[in-house]
Amino acid sequence: MGRITAPVIAQAHVGVQRMSLAQKVALTDEIFKEQPTLLASILVLPRMGVAMEQLDVAIHVLLVTFQAMKRSGHQWPVVTEDIQEGCLQRLTARARFNEGLPPELVAQIVQQFCDEHAERFLLAFVYGYLGDHDLWAVRTEAEKYLVLATLNLVECIAFVGSAAASK
């Protein structure tokens, strides 16, 4: 079971939605101090062609993720570039594995992945939020980078959370 529960995700999401711009900027400053690599992975997206309105989706996911980490009551190790790269490699390998499989098998594999994920409530939030913003169609390279970056946030949090829990 993960460190981030469904109620914590819900509280974080609602809390971020209610924040003023100044509060979001202050939270972003906090992320820069505590998890700079996570912030950098989102702020680089415009260089990959992600439009500002789509960047808002990724920033919201980052803010909610960070708030959920804080509200969880756990200490979170810093996500390093090496951790981020390893998580991204595993994530893209999973995506490549699914390519060309029959849709019913892909659905089964995705369901199993979600059910067994170390941070399944965070993953569910991100899946839903991306779906709410019609990003699962991945119509452009920019959308592909945005989806990968937001999913990789989840993978990184799951990785460091699992590592911290095992100590």
Please say whether the dihedral angle defined by the alpha carbons of residues 40, 41, 45 and 48, taken in this order, is positive or negative.
positive
Q: What pTM does this model have?
A: 0.90
- Contact residues for 68 (Cβ-Cβ < 8 A; gap 6+): 4, 8, 9, 11, 12, 122
22-45 pLDDT, tens digit per residue, is: 999 999 999 999 999 999 999 999
- Each residue's pLDDT, cut to its tens digit, for the chain (167 residues) gives 689 999 999 999 999 999 999 999 999 999 999 999 999 999 999 999 999 999 999 999 999 999 999 999 888 999 999 999 999 999 888 877 777 778 888 788 878 877 888 999 999 999 999 999 999 888 999 999 999 999 999 999 999 988 776 66
5 phi and psi angles, rounded to 5 deg: -90, 165
